[in-house]
Amino acid sequence: MCTHNDADHANGILGFLKNEELLCDEVWLPGIWTSRLKDILVKPSIFIHELVLDIDSNHLAYDLATLGDSYSDNELPLDNRNESEEYVQLEELYSDLEASLEKNYDIHDVAQFHRGPYLWGLSPSHIELFVEAINAAKLIKDIAIAAFQKGANIKWFEYDEYQCSGGIDGILEPLNSKEISTVKKRGALEYLALAMANRQSLVFHSPSSSNAPAILFSADSNFEFKQTIPWSNGMIITASHHGSKSNSNCYLRYENERSEHLNSIWIRSDGRFRSRPGPWYLKIQSTQRYCTRCSPDFKSSQNVEFTANKSEWQSSSIACTCGQK
């Protein structure tokens, strides 16, 4: 399962798919990836030309993820070039994936050929956005092809802040997305930006069972979707976006909706970033909080492991010391 096209999320699933010793029956990917996947696979030159034109007409010096969040929040108008409301049939992508393996286009190589005539007029910040966009497109293509070569059944989940469907009942269920078979075609830059948007990263829930309490996989979401979050006592919650300050709404929603006696286990993964975690993560009312690497002491890191004994999760990992000198 991949929640969105952010490197620290997407590279992990790519590594899994390329490892021949690791097996899976299904791969779940963001539905927005399919909007222009055909063009990245078999028409990269046309896609890149459109991308440069989109970047040239975009006057905001945003990185791709920030641009995607701006589209998500309706701060920027969505691309209206597709007046016909053209949709992509996802079942047709399998033939495109197969065709891509035969042609074996490398989008970086194609971008090199376009560098001169297309990029001369772009500002330095726009060129940086172009490079980031090409890398994002390559990662989407690589993951889709790796899943196809793995022989797994690929399912696509499109972000939706009101409805959710699909998944595996009682095992892993989407909270802010629905399984889809068609997707709207979007402009090149808008497509890649939305694919990286933290706001639209997919959130999944593993319900409690007789064997273990629940788990909430938060990805980088800000929990601004309207669907109900099934908070439950003893559940594991992955801290959204490494506990970043910008995702404080996660904490606000948790505090506003949880019952008085609800106690959850929070886990945060991170690298060497002094800006994280934000104050919301440090204020969480929880008796258990764990990090793979605590801030500001970056001297040690750990794998955080949990074992279920039916009624609760247990861990021998070191508790969080973030914010302590």
**pLDDT higher than 70, residue 222:** yes
Q: 195: closest CA among 144, 269, 238?
A: 144
> DSSP for 239-273?
PGGGG-GGGTHHHHHHHHHS-TT---EEEE---S-
- In single-letter form, the type of residue at position 84 comes to S
Kindly report, residue by residue over 79-113, the tens digit of the pLDDT. Answer: 655 545 677 788 888 888 888 888 777 777 777 66
Pick from 15-29, 128-142, 299-313: least confident: 299-313
Backbone angles phi, psi at 194, to 5 degrees: -65, -30
CA 311/CA 60 separation, integer angstroms: 51
Quote the Cα angle for 168-171-175, to 5°: 70
Distance CA 43, CA 303 (A): 42
The pTM (predicted TM-score) of the whole model is 0.90
Between the alpha carbon of residue 7 and those of residues 132, 148, 228, the distances in Å are: 11, 20, 28
Contact 160, 32 (CB under 8 A): no
Count of CA atoms in the C-beta half-sphere (13 A) of 127: 11
- What tokens does 49 get? 């030309």
Angle CA 278–246–190, to nearest 5: 150
109-125 pLDDT, tens per residue?
Answer: 777 666 555 566 677 88
d(CA 254, CA 240): 12
